Amino acid sequence: MKKANFEQYHIRKWYSFVEETLANESGVLADGEPVYKYAVAVAIHNPFAGQFQQDLNALIEKSPELGREFGRRIQALAQGRAIESYGKAILVGMNSEYEHGNAFLTNPAANPVREAIGGGKSWVPSTGKRGVAGTIIDVPLAHKDALYVRSHYDTFSLSFNDAPNNDEIIVIWAFATRGRLHARLGGLKASEIKGEDGLN
């Protein structure tokens, strides 16, 4: 068993990503502010690697503390910019179960992240897969207060050159400050959000 260094977890590495998009794929300059995308990820040892464990509460129990640390780190990355979109993902090492990773995406871990970005009424889009170091994962993004805002459907593609190890899980949270540049497919606008049910 690897020695814990964050609550009961053994964390090998934290990652931070910042992307600033000034023009769309056709070269048309931003219609307003650039799109800032941020991601925070952690490579964490999976104590259940190589085995089936019925009760996964040991992974979930202290995950709110992990969520608070994600929140602190995204606040530092964003430098005061308001967050409009979010998404989450897990990349699970090959000696681990996909279900082990999903334990880190439950509401106990997610709620502190919502709080850190000023709340969020919509469910957080998520994905995940098993992989090796260098695997690319596309983290889905959607508006944090209304899932039906089409302009904010997006992804943040990430890879990690040295993770996950076979006995690791990478937990990822991604964020954006606005919708896609020159989004023009209609539907509910961010300015029209009612904020009642997380959909509209």
What confidence tens digit (pLDDT) does each residue in 40-80 have?
Answer: 999 999 999 999 999 999 999 999 999 999 999 999 999 99
Kindly tell me if the per-residue pLDDT of 198 is higher than 80.
no
Q: Please choose, from the candidates 38, 6, 20, 40, the residue with its C-alpha nearest in 3D space to the C-alpha of residue 160.
A: 40
The bridge status of strand 168-176 relative to strand 85-92 is antiparallel
pTM above 0.85, yes or no: yes
Give φ, ψ of 30 to 5 degrees. Answer: -55, 140
What confidence tens digit (pLDDT) does each residue in 103-160 have?
A: 999 988 999 999 999 999 999 999 999 999 999 999 999 999 999 999 999 999 999 9
Q: How far apart are CA 68 and CA 137, in angstroms?
A: 23
The bridge status of strand 85-92 relative to strand 126-130 is parallel
Inter-residue contact 140 to 87 (CB < 8 Å): yes
